[in-house]
Amino acid sequence: MNHPEPAAGPVLVTGGCGFIGSAVVRAFADAGREVRVVNPRCRPFRDDVQFLDLDIRNGAGLAEACNGVETVVHCASVVQTRNTAQHEMWEVNHGGTRNVLDACRRGRVRKLVHISSASVVYEGRDLEAGDEGLPYAKASLSAYADSKIAAEQDVLEFAAEGSTSACALRPHLVFGPGDTRFLPNILRRADGAGIREVGTRSKLSDFVYIDNVVDAIMAAEDQLEPGTPVCGQAYFVTNGEPIAFFEFVERLLTAMGYPPVRKRVPYWLAYAGAGLVEAFHSVVRTGETSEDGLSRFAVRYLNTHHYFRIDKARRDLHWRPRTALEQGIQQTAAAVTR
């Protein structure tokens, strides 16, 4: 007698009120899964989702939240290219991830999809068609990248224990409706003094539309089983359509009715200015601050190639980016101007 497959169990999403996390929550809830969100000071946005006002630095609370959970999607992260919040980044990005791993052990969670970053392999030099064979960056460029490296290493080592099937996804410059960081920063500048292009458009960057990231997360969760090629692996997740950073910004702005980018700042001047701004912040500010692109890490990032192959994700996850870059740009512009 054939027995029906058991229904997929609950999904817990850390950082489920953030840009990526909220999109993941909606996708799993729409698919009929029971979803729990772990996020401090989060305003619930769906009646069919359980929202827990909980910081992942609270290990005991996180372990309790993971009871009965089949899959954890770990999105929670502090993202900042300056180092004024390095204490918070290490506490959340690395320490919080270690709490997630412990909660998975204690709660006998079957699957873990960890959202890492493509910056874990970036050393300030050109990366052209990089793949997962690249080593972790040894040059420390920011506390964010360093903390994400440590977190991803812990996740992949944890996968080898065999108690929870785990993998890491490395999205690069995620954009789309609901963005709370990248797009708002661009619009603030466009509405203020205007966008100033840094350097030239000779360097290419990868971007990835939010729906493609969510698809990759759900595909990874579906493929994660003991003994499969996915367990213990990291995957770059991009649109696979590299483009100059300010070409992308200009396309997005013109789709929203803004004029083309006309102003330009030489690389050396932007880098020196970013150094002065960072020095100022190191003296008068600590903790998280709003991102404005004025960090040496960001300026260097804008003026190096950083794009990646996605063959491994296509092969192992049976995933492909279904929303093309231009379609994503138009959908983002329509959502913002609606």
- pLDDT tens by residue, 38-50: 999 999 999 999 9
Active-site hit among 122, 144, 209, 301: 144
What local confidence, expressed as pLDDT, does residue 282 receive? Answer: 57
DSSP notation for 43-68: PP--TTEEEE---TT-HHHHHHHTTT
Coil, strand, or helix at residue 303?
A: coil
CATH class of the domain at 11-337 = alpha beta
Angle, helices 182-191/245-255, rounded to nearest 10 degrees? 70
Helix H segments across the chain?
Answer: 19-30, 59-65, 86-89, 97-107, 143-159, 182-191, 210-223, 245-255, 267-284, 296-302, 311-317, 325-337
Compute the distance between CA of residue 179 and CA of residue 37 in angstroms, rounded to an integer: 18
Distance CA 113, CA 28 (A): 13
pLDDT digits (tens, 9 = 90+) for 53-103: 999 999 999 999 999 999 999 999 998 766 667 889 999 999 999 999 999
For the chain, the helix, strand and coil percentages under 3-state DSSP, each to the nearest 5: 40, 15, 40
| 3-class SS of residue 283 | helix
**Number of neighbours of residue 61 by Cβ within 10 angstroms:** 17
- Residue 307 annotated as catalytic: no
Rounded Cα distance between 315 and 233, Å, is 13
- The three-state secondary structure class of 11 is strand
Residue extents of the structural domains in the chain: 11-337
**Predicted TM-score (pTM) of this structure:** 0.91
What's the average model confidence in pLDDT over 160-188? Answer: 93
Check pLDDT > 60 for residue 4. Answer: no
Q: What residues form DSSP beta bridges with 49? A: 35
Name the nearest CA neighbour of 313 among 183, 172, 175, 173: 172
> pLDDT value at position 284?
54
